[in-house]
Amino acid sequence: MVIDAIVAVLFAIGVAFFAAGSIALLRFPDLHSRLHALTKADNLGLGCIALGAAVESSDLLTGLKIMLVWVIVLAGSSVVSFLIGQRFPRRSAREHEELYQ
Amino acid sequence: MSPGALDFGIAAIAVVLAARAVFSRDLFAAMVYFVALGLVVALLWARLEAPDVAIAEAAIGAGLTGALLFMTWRRLGSPRGMKVGGVAARWVLSVTLASSAALTALLLAASGSLGRFPGLAGEVADALPRSGVENPVTAVLLNYRGFDTLLEMGVLFLTLAAMRSLGVSTALNHERLAHSAVLAGLVRFAVPLSVLVGGYLLWAGASTPGGAFQAGAAWAGALVLMRLADTQLMSHLRLACSSWIGLAVFGAAAAAAYVVVGYPLAYPSGQAGIWILVIEVAAALSIAAILYQLFALDPGGKRNEDTKARR
């Protein structure tokens, strides 16, 4: 009963972060803000859902496997964000204003 | 929410994504929709309790096809001469729509009779103890219907042969990211992991979901990642050998079975397990090598060299 409640709360938090990340991805004005939004969905959204699934799983080994999935996704998404950021360096504030006004 | 509503929701999302992938004017957006569609379809297969297909769809349908599409898109250059339209396109579209509608109608009609025919699940289960493996999907692919899988390997090999005949340079293309220590770190972490996952999928295919196609896709993913990071694992010669080893071993097994048992791909009784394992290892190597080369070889590379030589 307590476990169910913990799982439900974790899933709710995870979904909230995913929703916030998705809305931000659509609404934010430039690449770097969008990358910032994506990391929230990957780190915290998936993290909370993985943690919830791990708590829900029957044994420790399955739970650890689920958390390993999260760690691997984190590694992949952080490297991808880094590469995208490196490829498109930040514009100066003035260039940014000219572009997005 | 009931499970039915959940499945209906996922199916509706798949239809919307498919429509947007087809009708998007922007090629880049269409590709993003296509990759998203692959992931949703993988989810649908998982919901249908077909994890084998789900893994293959996610790895090949979304992952590798996505990489191929993005690479092609980068090479198209200016999207201006790529305008879709005209009489021919309208004909293609109407024929495609008509055949899709006919197929949908047939499938709907057929789904009405699903309950009346039990299918072949009973026969598959009855013969499973003699098939050499415990996973019914692998038993069908490599034993009962081994011929189909042999032809599939042939199709993959033909794809590579057709691509190379179009003037592919033997040089690998220059689709690579700038050298980066962070990317190199990911390669050191992810490539051994992918090799391990592929090996596990190959071995696990005997008793649980997995098998040569899933393993080959995982290995091909590792090769693509190494390519992007400008790390070379396999020489051209080794790649070329790996491309045909699957078809060669599968064909040799068919011939050997014909000699020993008197029927192609009918494995000697009691030894089916080891025959299937040998074929699957060779097939997985070939699938990885061919999928990787579809990504990494330079189409039109030779033509460019020729043009340069003529000048």
pLDDT in tens, B88-124: 778 888 998 999 999 999 999 888 877 777 778 888 8
CA dihedral (B285, B288, B293, B294) in degrees, to 10, reads 130
Q: Does residue A88 belong to the interface with chain B, where contact is any CB pair within 8 Å? A: no
User: For tokens 């994506």, what's the residue?
Assistant: A38
**Residue in A72, A76, A86 closest to B180 by CB:** A86
Please check whether residue A71 touches B, CB under 8 A: no
pLDDT of amino acid B180: 78
Alpha-carbon distance B234 to B77, whole Å?
30
On whether the CB atoms of residues B222 and B285 are closer than 8 A, the answer is: no
Contact A75 B186 (CB under 8 A): yes
Q: What is the ipTM of this complex?
A: 0.77
Tens digit of each residue's pLDDT (9 = 90 or more) over A8-22: 999 999 999 999 998
Which residue in A79, A86, A87 is closest to B186 by CB distance? A79
What would the pLDDT profile of A23-56 be if each residue is shown by its tens digit? Answer: 998 888 888 888 888 888 878 899 999 999 999 9
CB of B243 within 8 A of CB of B168? no
pLDDT tens by residue, B43-83: 999 998 888 889 889 888 888 888 888 888 877 765 555 55
Other beta carbons within 10 angstroms of residue B299's beta carbon come to: 17
- Interface check for A86 against chain B (CB to CB < 8 A): the answer is yes
pLDDT at B62: 84
Q: Which residue of B has its CA nearest to A87?
A: B178
Q: What are the residue boundaries of the structural domains of chain B, listed by start?
A: 1-112, 121-311
Q: Which residue's entry shows tokens 């309950």?
A: B115
Closest by CA to B273, choosing from B198, B196, B207, B195, is B207
Least Cα distance to B152 among B14, B3, B280 occurs for B280
- A79 contacts on B by Cβ (under 8 Å): 182-183, 185-186
In chain B, where does DSSP find H-type helix? 3-23, 27-47, 51-56, 65-76, 86-111, 121-127, 136-139, 146-165, 181-204, 212-228, 236-260, 272-296, 301-310
**Would you call A76 and B183 a contact, using CB atoms and an 8 Å cutoff?**
no
Distance of residue B186 Cα from the nearest chain A Cα, in angstroms: 7
The reported pLDDT for the residue numbered B216 is 92
A95-to-A42, A91, B304 alpha-carbon distances in Å: 30, 6, 38
Nearest-5° Cα angle at A69, A64 to A74: 120
Q: What is the pLDDT of residue B158?
A: 92
Q: How far, CA to CA in Å, does B259 sit from each of A47, A94, B248, B256?
A: 56, 78, 16, 5
Per-run averaged pLDDT (10 residues), chain B, 311 residues:
83 94 88 94 92 88 86 70 66 90 92 77 84 85 87 91 74 60 86 93 87 90 84 74 89 89 82 88 92 78 49 42
- What SS3 state is found at B269? coil
- Rounded to the nearest angstrom, the minimum Cα separation between B171 and chain A is 25
Q: CA B63 to CA B280: how far, in whole Å?
A: 22
B169 DSSP β-pair partners: B298
Residue B178 is predicted with a pLDDT of: 59
Full-model pTM: 0.81
φ/ψ (deg, to 5) at B202 = -65, -45
Residue A73 distance to chain B (closest CA, Å)? 11
| Exposure b/e, B161-181, CB count within 10 A at least 16 = b | eeebeeebbeebbebeeeebe
Contacts of B190 in chain A (CB under 8 A): 72, 75-76
**How far is B206 from chain A, CA to nearest CA, in Å?**
21
Q: Is B184 on the interface with A (CB under 8 A)?
A: no
* Mean pLDDT on A80-87: 84
Give the residue among B195, B261, B175, B214 at the shortest CA–CA distance from B57: B214
